[in-house]
Amino acid sequence: MDAGGASVHDRSLEKERPVPDKETTSFMRSLCMGRIEQDVICPFPTMSDAQRETLTDISGALQGLLGTRAEDFRKWDVAGELPQEFIDELKEFGMFGLVIPEDHGGMGLGNMAYSRTLQEVAKYDASVAVTIGAHSSIGMRGLLLFGTEDQNKRYMPKLASGEMIAAYCLTEPGAGSDAAAIKTTAVKEGDHWVLTGNKLWITNGGFADFFTVFAKTPEEGGRGKMTAFIVTKDMEGVSIGPHEDKMGLRSNPTTTVLFDGVRVPDANVLGEVGHGFKVAMMILNSGRTGLGGGSVGAMKRLIELSTKQANERKTFGEPISSYGLIKKKVGQMVIDCYTSEAVVTMVGGLIDAGYKEYQVEAAISKVYATECLWKTADEALQIAGGNGYMREYPYERVVRDCRINRIFEGTNEILRLLIALTAMNDVASQLQELSSTMKDILNHPIKGFGVLSDYARKHASLRTGVGGEPGFQKIHEAIQEQAKIFEEETRYLAQATDSILRKHGKAIIGKQFASERLAEIMIDLFVMACTISRVQSSIEANGVEAAALEIDLLKTFAREAKVRIKRNFRRIDTNDDEIVKALADDAFETERFRWDTI
Ligand SMILES: Cc1cc2nc3c(=O)[nH]c(=O)nc-3n(C[C@H](O)[C@H](O)[C@H](O)COP(=O)(O)OP(=O)(O)OC[C@H]3O[C@@H](n4cnc5c(N)ncnc54)[C@H](O)[C@@H]3O)c2cc1C
pLDDT tier at 17, thresholds 50, 70, 90: low
Model pLDDT, residue 16: 60
The arithmetic mean of pLDDT across residues 159-169, rounded, is 98
CB atoms within 10 A of CB 295: 32
Q: Label residues 363-397 b or e (16+ Cβ within 10 Å = b).
A: bbbbbbbbbbbbebbbbbbebbeeebeeeebbbbb
Q: How far apart are CA 441 and CA 456, in angstroms?
A: 15
Domain 3-24+420-583: which CATH number of 2.60.40.1840, 3.30.70.260, 1.20.140.10, 2.40.160.40: 1.20.140.10
Q: How far apart are CA 393 and CA 387, in angstroms?
A: 7
- Spacing, Cα 202 to ligand 1 middle (Å): 12
Residue 560: pLDDT over 90: yes
Give the E-state strand segments of 394-547 in sequence order. Answer: none
The alpha carbon torsion through 304, 306, 307, 311 (nearest 10 deg) reads 140
Model pLDDT, residue 212: 98
Nearest atom of ligand 1 to the alpha carbon of 167: 8
The arithmetic mean of pLDDT across residues 137-152, rounded, is 98
64 vs 509: which has the higher pLDDT? 64
> Average pLDDT of the chain?
90
pTM given for the model: 0.93
Domain positions in the chain: 3-24+420-583, 49-161, 166-277, 290-413
Q: Is the CB of 171 under 6 A from ligand 1?
A: yes
Q: Which CATH architecture has domain 166-277?
A: Beta Barrel (2.40)
CATH topology of domain 49-161: Butyryl-Coa Dehydrogenase, subunit A; domain 1 (1.10.540)
Same fold, 3-24+420-583 and 290-413: yes
Longest Cα separation, the chain: 79
Residue 437: pLDDT over 60: no
Q: Is 194 helix (H, G, I), strand (E, B) or coil?
A: strand
Q: Is the CB of 175 under 6 A from ligand 1?
A: no
The arithmetic mean of pLDDT across residues 189-203, rounded, is 97
Model pLDDT, residue 592: 95
Residue 60: pLDDT over 90: yes
Model pLDDT, residue 174: 95
Q: Is the CB of 291 under 6 A from ligand 1?
A: no
Residue 202: pLDDT over 50: yes
- Spacing, Cα 406 to ligand 1 middle (Å): 9
The arithmetic mean of pLDDT across residues 161-190, rounded, is 97
Model pLDDT, residue 261: 98
Q: How far apart are CA 482 and CA 99, in angstroms?
A: 36
- Spacing, Cα 176 to ligand 1 middle (Å): 4
Model pLDDT, residue 459: 52
Contact present, 217 and 225 (Cβ < 8 Å):
yes
Q: Is the CB of 168 under 6 A from ligand 1?
A: yes
Q: Is the CB of 177 under 6 A from ligand 1?
A: yes
Q: How far apart are CA 235 and CA 196, in angstroms?
A: 13
The arithmetic mean of pLDDT across residues 526-547, rounded, is 97
Give the closest residue (by CA) to ligand 1 atom 24: 176
- Spacing, Cα 270 to ligand 1 middle (Å): 23
Model pLDDT, residue 141: 97
Q: What are the DSSP calls for 212-278, one per residue? A: EEEEEEE-TTS-EEEEEEEEETTSTTEEE-PPP--SSSTTS-EEEEEEEEEEEEGGGEESSTT-HHH
Asked if 409 is an active-site residue, the reply is yes
Q: How far apart are CA 236 and CA 483, in angstroms?
A: 59
Interval 450-494: pLDDT, tens: 444 455 455 544 433 333 455 788 899 999 999 999 999 988 887
The arithmetic mean of pLDDT across residues 238-256, rounded, is 97
Model pLDDT, residue 64: 94
Q: Is 560 helix (H, G, I), strand (E, B) or coil?
A: helix
Phi, psi angle pair for 478, to nearest 5°? -65, -20
- Spacing, Cα 199 to ligand 1 middle (Å): 13
Model pLDDT, residue 430: 67
Contact present, 160 and 100 (Cβ < 8 Å):
yes
Handedness of CA 24, 36, 417, 214 (dihedral sign): negative
- Among candidate residues 341, 357, 361, 409, the one labeled active-site is 409
pLDDT tier at 222, thresholds 50, 70, 90: low
Model pLDDT, residue 4: 34
Q: Which CATH architecture has domain 290-413?
A: Up-down Bundle (1.20)
CB contact set of 180 (below 8 Å; sequence gap of 6+)? 226, 277
Ligand 1 pocket: which of 136, 259, 414, 416 to mutate (most atoms within 8 A of CB): 414
Model pLDDT, residue 389: 98
CB contact set of 289 (below 8 Å; sequence gap of 6+)? 111, 112, 114, 115, 137, 344, 347, 348, 351, 362, 365
Residue 474 DSSP class = S
Interval 341-399: pLDDT, tens: 999 999 999 999 999 999 999 999 999 999 999 999 999 999 999 999 999 999 999 99
Nearest atom of ligand 1 to the alpha carbon of 204: 8
Model pLDDT, residue 503: 78
